[in-house]
Amino acid sequence: MTRADRAQKVLASLRREYPEARPLLLYRSPFELLIAVILSAQTTDEQVNRATPQLFLRFPGPAELGSAPIEELESIVHGVGFFRTKARNIRATAAMVADEFGGTVPDSIDKLVRLPGVGRKSANVVVSHCYSLPGIIVDTHFSRVSRRIGLVRQTAPEKIEQEIASYVPKDSWTALSMCVNYHGRRCCTARKPACFRCVVSELCEYGSKTPAPESESSR
Residues 6+ apart with CB under 8 A from 206: 148, 149, 150, 193, 195
Same domain, 111 and 82: yes
Q: Binning pLDDT at 50, 70 and 90, where does residue 175 land?
A: very high
How deeply is 119 buried, as exposed, middle or buried, from its count of CB atoms within 10 A (0-12, 13-18, 19+)? middle
**Residue 213, domain member (yes or no):** no
Catalytic residue numbers read: 121, 139
- Asked whether residue 209 carries a pLDDT value surpassing 90, the answer given is no
The string of pLDDT tens digits covering residues 32-76 is 999 999 999 999 999 999 999 999 999 999 999 999 999 999 999
Q: What is the mean pLDDT of residues 117-127?
A: 97
Q: Binning pLDDT at 50, 70 and 90, where does residue 219 land?
A: very low
- Asked whether residue 210 carries a pLDDT value surpassing 90, the answer given is no
- Asked whether residue 218 carries a pLDDT value surpassing 70, the answer given is no
Q: Which of 114, 130, 146 is where one domain is finished? A: 130
Same domain, 45 and 120: yes
Q: Where do runs of H (alpha helix) occur along the chain?
A: 3-17, 30-39, 45-58, 62-66, 70-76, 83-100, 109-112, 120-130, 140-149, 157-167, 173-186, 214-217
Same domain, 114 and 204: no
CB atoms closer than 10 angstroms to residue 167 = 14
Same domain, 106 and 152: no
Same domain, 11 and 34: no
Distance CA 141, CA 186 (A): 10
Distance CA 9, CA 203 (A): 8
Number of domain units in the chain: 2
Q: What is the mean pLDDT of residues 3-11?
A: 96
**Residue 200, domain member (yes or no):** yes
**Residue ranges making up the domain that contains 186:** 3-20+137-208
Same domain, 180 and 121: no
- Asked whether residue 82 carries a pLDDT value surpassing 50, the answer given is yes
Distance CA 127, CA 31 (A): 11
Q: Which of 97, 130, 163 is where one domain is finished? A: 130
Instruction: Supply the pLDDT for residue 216.
Output: 45
CATH of the domain at 175: 1.10.1670.10
Q: Which of 68, 101, 130 is where one domain is finished? A: 130
Picking from 39, 200, 212, 168, the residue whose alpha carbon sits closest to that of residue 116 is 39
Whole-prediction pTM value?
A: 0.91
The string of pLDDT tens digits covering residues 84-99 is 999 999 999 999 999 9
Q: What is the mean pLDDT of the chain?
A: 94
Picking from 37, 24, 35, 40, the residue whose alpha carbon sits closest to that of residue 58 is 35
**Residue 219, domain member (yes or no):** no
Distance CA 104, CA 6 (A): 39
